[in-house]
């Protein structure tokens, strides 16, 4: 199949949806499909060969964060030209409710259209207010995917209809085979964190508070941080004593991220909300690193209700410190959680997830009214000749 994929978020700033789109495209290419991805990005941005930059994006407050989106007449023209220049068998739009390229593509396109919903935002007044305007557009969608139960619920509540649940995928061998960073694993214990550490909903202040409670008992404990944000702000939040325990790698490529996950004794996700799935949890599990995470609904589902990782009350630094302390002093338990996580994450491997997505594509193509009409004409001709 010739598949067009549209990402609404800029590739200038890494994120879960962007990673999902790239990994899906790679998995489809391995299976022999032809894939083109359209996404906001400046022309000089380093991109995979199958990603076509549609131009620079602007920062917009969205879902408790700042999303870099692209909209307007020039963007509309670029989306229209990309669709017209390609004769896609199916068009796959990610987050078409977000005011960016996917929404524009939905307005332009006809034919088999698959939409994937990632957001798990509770009932939104903004989305409910725009529902009458969006509903005619969403009638053009042939098939819908939600990456989680929560994302499916939001889609149903805001826009009606239903969606098949297909989780975010993870390249399990890529993380499992990564080599630790130089000097790791190290004596004294290492806690890992990946994400935009100055974004409030990622919960870094909670983790820092928990770390302070551990310093008395673990005088060589360190925090390995991967992600974007202001280093000065992080060090100020940490304070002098804790700041010197932080190894900040900043924004890194996927290989370095995988190596960092393999380097940590425990991966910690102290997030406060706004997560529809939890891709970083699956990446940590694929790396064989035991996980301690907030008991968000999305994280609870990924961690099999605590069977594949430790869940702590959201925002509770005392509980988080207690969970980390227990694991840091119990190597056998860490090994048990590592094995349970490795078993659990197998269901999220792209080898499985991609096949599920392709089946949705095939169903969408089969349900295309134009193809149904052509089939009916061919049947009428055949019956007339018989």
Which pLDDT does position 233 carry in this prediction?
A: 95
**Mean pLDDT to the nearest integer, 330-353:** 97
**Mean pLDDT to the nearest integer, 332-351:** 97
Q: Which ranges in the chain are annotated with CATH 3.40.50.2000? A: 2-169+349-379, 172-347
Which pLDDT does position 189 carry in this prediction?
A: 96
Look over the chain and give the mean of its residue pLDDT values, rounded to a whole number: 90
For 2-169+349-379, give the CATH class: alpha beta
Per DSSP, the residues of 109-168 read --S-EEEEE-----S-HHHHHHHHHHHHHHTT-SEEEESSHHHHHHHHHHH-S--EE-PP
β-pairing, 246-250 with 222-226?
Answer: parallel
Tokens found for residue 110: 């006809």
**Mean pLDDT to the nearest integer, 200-205:** 95
β-pairing, 65-69 with 58-62?
Answer: antiparallel
Q: Which residue has the higher pLDDT, 288 or 368?
A: 288
In the predicted model, is pLDDT for residue 375 greater than 60?
no
Closest CA to 201 of 62, 312, 40: 62
**Mean pLDDT to the nearest integer, 106-132:** 76
Whether 244 and 354 have beta carbons less than 8 Å apart is answered as: no
Query: Residue 43 phi/psi, 5° resolution?
Result: -60, -25
Cα–Cα dist 94/25, whole Å:
13
**Mean pLDDT to the nearest integer, 129-143:** 77
Which residues pair with residue 192 across a beta bridge? 224, 267
For 18, half-sphere exposure in the C-beta direction (CA atoms, 13 angstrom radius) is 18
Instruction: Map residue 108 onto helix, strand or coil.
Output: helix
Which pLDDT does position 124 carry in this prediction?
A: 55
- Percent above pLDDT 90 for the chain: 75
Token look-up 């939890």 returns 278
Model confidence at 377, in pLDDT bands (50, 70, 90)? very low
Model confidence at 157, in pLDDT bands (50, 70, 90)? confident
Q: What kind and span of H or E run contains 339? A: helix 331-345
Model confidence at 149, in pLDDT bands (50, 70, 90)? confident
Cα 1 to the center of its chain, rounded Å: 24
Which pLDDT does position 130 carry in this prediction?
A: 56
**Mean pLDDT to the nearest integer, 232-261:** 95
Tokens found for residue 85: 């220049």
Token look-up 């004409």 returns 377
In the predicted model, is pLDDT for residue 264 greater than 50?
yes
For 172-347, give the CATH class: alpha beta
Closest CA to 353 of 119, 24, 70, 99: 24
Which residues pair with residue 35 across a beta bridge? 3
Model confidence at 125, in pLDDT bands (50, 70, 90)? low
Instruction: Give the largest Cα separation in the chain, rounded.
Output: 88
Model confidence at 274, in pLDDT bands (50, 70, 90)? confident
Neighbour-count burial of 206, counting CB atoms closer than 10 A to its CB (0-12 exposed, 13-18 middle, 19+ buried): buried
In the predicted model, is pLDDT for residue 85 greater than 70?
yes
Q: What kind and span of H or E run contains 65? A: strand 65-69
In the predicted model, is pLDDT for residue 99 greater than 60?
yes
Which pLDDT does position 376 carry in this prediction?
A: 45
Whether 364 and 357 have beta carbons less than 8 Å apart is answered as: no
Tokens found for residue 44: 């000089």
Closest CA to 100 of 79, 124, 130: 79
Instruction: Map residue 4 onto helix, strand or coil.
Output: strand
Q: Which DSSP symbol is given to 244?
A: T
Lowest-confidence region among 62-71, 119-128, 243-252: 119-128
Predicted confidence (pLDDT) per residue in 206-244, tens digit: 999 999 999 999 999 999 999 999 999 999 999 999 999
Which pLDDT does position 148 carry in this prediction?
A: 87
Which pLDDT does position 114 carry in this prediction?
A: 97
Tokens found for residue 21: 């789109």
- Cis peptide bond upstream of 28, omega within 30: no
Closest CA to 93 of 158, 149, 39: 39
Tokens found for residue 63: 């879902």
Lowest-confidence region among 20-29, 71-80, 148-157, 319-328: 148-157
Instruction: Map residue 278 onto helix, strand or coil.
Output: coil
Which pLDDT does position 276 carry in this prediction?
A: 80
Cα–Cα dist 139/5, whole Å:
19
Which pLDDT does position 64 carry in this prediction?
A: 61
Cα–Cα dist 223/328, whole Å:
13
Cα–Cα dist 121/276, whole Å:
8
Q: Angle at CA 187, nearest 5°, toward 186 and 188?
A: 115
């Amino acid at each position: 199949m010739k598949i067009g994929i549209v990402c609404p978020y800029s590739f200038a700033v890494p994120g879960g949806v962007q990673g999902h789109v790239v990994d899906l495209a790679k998995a489809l290419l391995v299976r022999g499909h032809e894939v083109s991805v359209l996404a906001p990005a400046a022309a000089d941005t380093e991109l995979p060969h199958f990603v076509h930059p549609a131009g620079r994006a602007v920062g917009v407050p969205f879902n408790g964060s700042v999303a870099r989106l692209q909209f307007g007449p020039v963007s509309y023209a670029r989306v229209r030209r990309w669709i017209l220049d390609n004769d896609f068998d199916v068009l796959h739009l990610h987050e078409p409710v977000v005011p960016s390229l996917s929404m524009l593509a939905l307005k332009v396109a006809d034919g088999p259209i698959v939409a994937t919903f990632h957001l798990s935002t509770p009932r939104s007044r903004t989305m409910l207010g725009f529902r009458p305007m969006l509903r005619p557009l969403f009638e053009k969608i042939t098939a819908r995917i939600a990456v989680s139960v929560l994302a499916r619920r939001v889609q149903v509540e805001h826009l009606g209809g239903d969606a098949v649940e297909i989780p975010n995928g993870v390249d399990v061998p890529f993380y499992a085979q990564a080599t630790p960073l130089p000097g790791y694993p190290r004596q004294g214990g290492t806690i890992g964190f990946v994400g935009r550490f100055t974004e409030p909903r990622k919960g870094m202040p909670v983790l820092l508070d928990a770390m302070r409670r551990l310093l008395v008992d673990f005088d060589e404990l360190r925090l390995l941080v991967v992600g974007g944000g202001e280093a000065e702000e992080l060090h100020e939040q940490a304070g002098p004593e804790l700041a010197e325990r932080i190894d900040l790698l900043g924004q890194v490529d996927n290989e370095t991220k995988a190596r960092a996950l393999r380097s940590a004794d425990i991966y910690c996700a102290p997030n406060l909300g706004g997560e529809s799935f939890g891709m970083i949890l699956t990446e940590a599990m694929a790396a064989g690193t035991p996980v301690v995470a907030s008991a968000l609904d999305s994280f609870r589902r990924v961690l099999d209700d605590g069977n594949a990782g430790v869940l702590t009350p959201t925002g509770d630094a005392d509980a988080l410190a207690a969970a980390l302390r227990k694991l840091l002093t119990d190597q056998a338990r860490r090994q048990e959680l590592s094995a349970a996580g490795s078993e659990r994450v197998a269901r999220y491997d792209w080898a499985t997830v991609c096949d599920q997505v392709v089946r949705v594509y095939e169903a969408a193509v089969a349900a295309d009214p134009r193809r149904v009409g052509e089939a009916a004409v061919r049947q009428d001709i055949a019956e007339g000749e018989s």
